[in-house]
Amino acid sequence: MVVLLDTTHQSEASALTEAADRKPSLASAGRRRLTEALLSIGVPEKQVRMRVSQLWRWIYVMGVTSFDAMTDVSKDLRRALEAQFTLDRLEIVSEQVSIDGTRKWLLRLPKRVHEAKAPEIECVYIPEEDRGTLCISSQVGCTLTCTFCHTGTQRLVRNLEADEIVGQILLARDRIGDWPGVTPPADGRLLPNTERKITNVVLMGMGEPLYNVDNVRDAMEVTADGEGLSVSKRRITLSTSGIVPEIVRWGRESGTMLAISLHAVHDDLRDVLVPINKKYPLADLLEACRNYPGLSNAKRITFEYVMLKGVNDSLADARALVRLLANIPAKINLIPFNPWPGSEYECSDWETIETFADVVNRAGYASPVRTPRGRDILAACGQLRSESVKLRAQDRRQTSSSSTQMGEA
Ligand code: SF4
């Protein structure tokens, strides 16, 4: 494993002194925010649409990080933008590269006034020969406590804003040199041989995306916009632990692909592995899947199933899984469990995984086992976590009064 960048030691001081009145960044803004920004600096209403298109292209097609680079925008407008806004990216705390080319970034979000420390999230890039998948986070921590998942041990700090979700994509494209005219980094030999290096985006990082549905939806609109980042909705997958009332709504409003964090075929075990199952049991979850808009053989739902030794990996489980998903256009992803410090589970033996996969294969599901990636840098599925914590109300009050004092000093 290679650590390319580590700013951990400077983090504390810079996060604590970050000014609340810092210029806002338009780096990952949606069209509505860009419109408001332009109006706020006096751009005439009839010009705004054209100006938004210009900015959009520079930000999302060319990947520029300064208004000065926008050569077809008048100097006056560039100066006015510069005076009020930035194109700052999320801050990188550390970047790690696995021996298999997987990259993990620990990213710092802009600090809010009541936060003692800027919260941090993780984001992972997984290159393969013919595709590059970016796994992004939607929350800092998680309210759910899935027992096999490292993020589940970190309490929810807060939801990510839409631009903080999009910001992960821009940052990753910067780091792997995925903009026109930019040379990939010297260690980028493991990048895919596709023209674009990020071909797929999966909402499988930290957090339950359907508990932050509005921001995630806005972010995916920016991600899929054909005049910008242009990642097809067929190549965007939202993974949920099973927030039943939001599933169909998500499909209707967003049209992305869906993955379900399933992991058990009976309610009693799923209640333990994915405790939200107590609220939305399997029968309700599968009914919502059957009603997912656009569901067809061309748009199948992925069911993720982590292989836990002696817990959910028997032959009877495999057969029950196949029966459970009958009549749902589905893909099955068997995920060898990726251990993390303090986890109570072990990964199933390879032989057991193969026997399980055979049953699934014979039922017509192709290549069901997902190769673990980035294990050496804790970047594999279920291993993400940051140290950010939410302050108690009392601490929050103290922090905001001390940051007000700092600002006044
Ligand atoms: S699997 Fe997803 S929903 Fe469950 S604890 Fe982990 S991040 Fe949260």
pLDDT digits (tens, 9 = 90+) for 190-237: 889 898 999 999 999 999 999 999 999 999 999 999 999 999 999 999
Q: Report all structural domains of the chain as residue ranges with CATH numbers, in order of start.
A: 26-87 (1.10.150.530), 91-377 (3.20.20.70)
123: annotated active-site residue: no
What pTM, to 2 d.p., does this model score?
0.88
pLDDT digits (tens, 9 = 90+) for 274-308: 999 999 999 999 999 999 999 999 999 999 999 99
User: Across all residues in the chain, what is the average pLDDT?
Assistant: 88
Q: How many Å lie between the centroid of ligand 1 and the Cα of residue 19?
A: 32
Binding site membership of 168 for ligand 1 (Cβ less than 6 Å): no
- Active-site choice (123, 146, 347, 381): 381
Binding site membership of 208 for ligand 1 (Cβ less than 6 Å): yes
Of the listed ranges 76-85, 112-121, 135-144, 163-172, the one predicted with least confidence:
112-121
- Active-site choice (122, 128, 164, 208): 122
381: annotated active-site residue: yes
pLDDT digits (tens, 9 = 90+) for 326-368: 989 999 999 999 888 888 999 999 999 999 999 999 999 986 7
Q: Give the relative orientation of helices 315-324 and 350-362 as an angle to the nearest 10 degrees.
A: 30
* Ligand 1 pocket test, candidate residues 139, 202, 208, 343, most atoms within 8 A of CB: 208
Q: Is the pLDDT of residue 403 over 80?
A: no
What is the atom index within ligand 1 of the atom nearest the CA of 205? 7
- Give the residue carrying structure tokens 């650590």: 3
Q: Is the pLDDT of residue 59 over 50?
A: yes
Instruction: Over range 39-45, report the average pLDDT.
Output: 97
What is the atom index within ligand 1 of the atom nearest the CA of 274? 4
How far apart are alpha carbons 46 and 26 in whole angstroms?
21
Q: Higher-confidence residue: 382 or 394?
A: 382
- Give the residue carrying structure tokens 């990082």: 205
Q: How many Å lie between the centroid of ligand 1 and the Cα of residue 241?
A: 7
Phi-psi bin for 154: left (phi > 0), alpha (psi -120 to 50), beta? beta
Instruction: Over range 299-319, report the average pLDDT.
Output: 97
pLDDT digits (tens, 9 = 90+) for 8-18: 433 333 333 34
Percent of the chain whose predicted confidence (pLDDT) is above 70:
86
Q: How many Å lie between the centroid of ligand 1 and the Cα of residue 150?
A: 8
Instruction: Over range 362-389, report the average pLDDT.
Output: 75
Q: What is the pLDDT of residue 12?
A: 35
Binding site membership of 261 for ligand 1 (Cβ less than 6 Å): yes
Binding site membership of 144 for ligand 1 (Cβ less than 6 Å): yes
* Ligand 1 pocket test, candidate residues 213, 261, 381, most atoms within 8 A of CB: 261
- Give the residue carrying structure tokens 């804003």: 161
